[in-house]
Amino acid sequence: MKEDTIKIAGFHAHVYFDTASQDVAARVREGLGARFEVQLGRWFDHPIGPHPQGMYQVAFLPNQFDRVVPWLMLNREGLDILVHPNTGDAVSDHTEHSLWLGKKLDLNIEFLRQVSSTSCDILLH
């Protein structure tokens, strides 16, 4: 049985970087903020939550998906990016329902099992 997309309240893109790629990540962030109606989250220079390396989160509504994700595909400049829906099930959203641009990183799924489905929202503030 297919899931109904009405359950998707929005999307998150997690843009991963390290010390060497931080300037690239800043350019991608500037491009996203200038072109789209997105909410740019805080910079994290270290692993946080389920994320294995530094990253920032970009939140956007379903009506932005067809513009934001193709732009990221063409302009990610080699960065690894996780894109996932927000359906209220953080584990499934980050695993079964996610897509990766670049290399798929190993997330700490156990962390997601132990916290509420809204755990990613803290990354925006």
Number of domains in the chain: 1
Q: Do 56 and 40 touch, CB atoms closer than 8 A?
A: yes
Is residue 14 domain-resident? Answer: yes
Query: Does some domain include residue 88?
Result: yes
| 72: in domain | yes
Which CATH number covers residue 96?
Answer: 3.30.70.1240
Query: Do the beta carbons of residue 54 and residue 97 sit within 8 Å?
Result: no
> How much is the average pLDDT of 73-88?
96
Residue 117 has pLDDT above 90, yes or no: no
Q: Is the pLDDT of residue 1 over 60?
A: no
Tell me, yes or no, whether 12 lies in a domain.
Answer: yes
Structural domain that includes position 37: 7-116
CA atoms within 13 A on the CB side of 61: 3
Tokens standing for 25? Answer: 């990540």
Rounded mean pLDDT, 58-81: 97
> Stretch 20-49: mean pLDDT, rounded?
96
Question: Does residue 5 carry a pLDDT above 80?
Answer: no
In a domain, 60, yes or no: yes
pLDDT in tens, 45-66: 999 999 999 999 999 999 999 9
Contacts of 118 (CB under 8 A, 6+ apart): 90
| Domain-embedded: residue 2 | no
Residue 105: exposed, middle, or buried by beta-carbon count in 10 A (0-12, 13-18, 19+)? middle
Q: Report the pLDDT value the prediction gives residue 37, as an integer from 0 to 100.
A: 94
Lowest mean pLDDT among 36-50, 54-68, 110-124: 110-124
In a domain, 125, yes or no: no
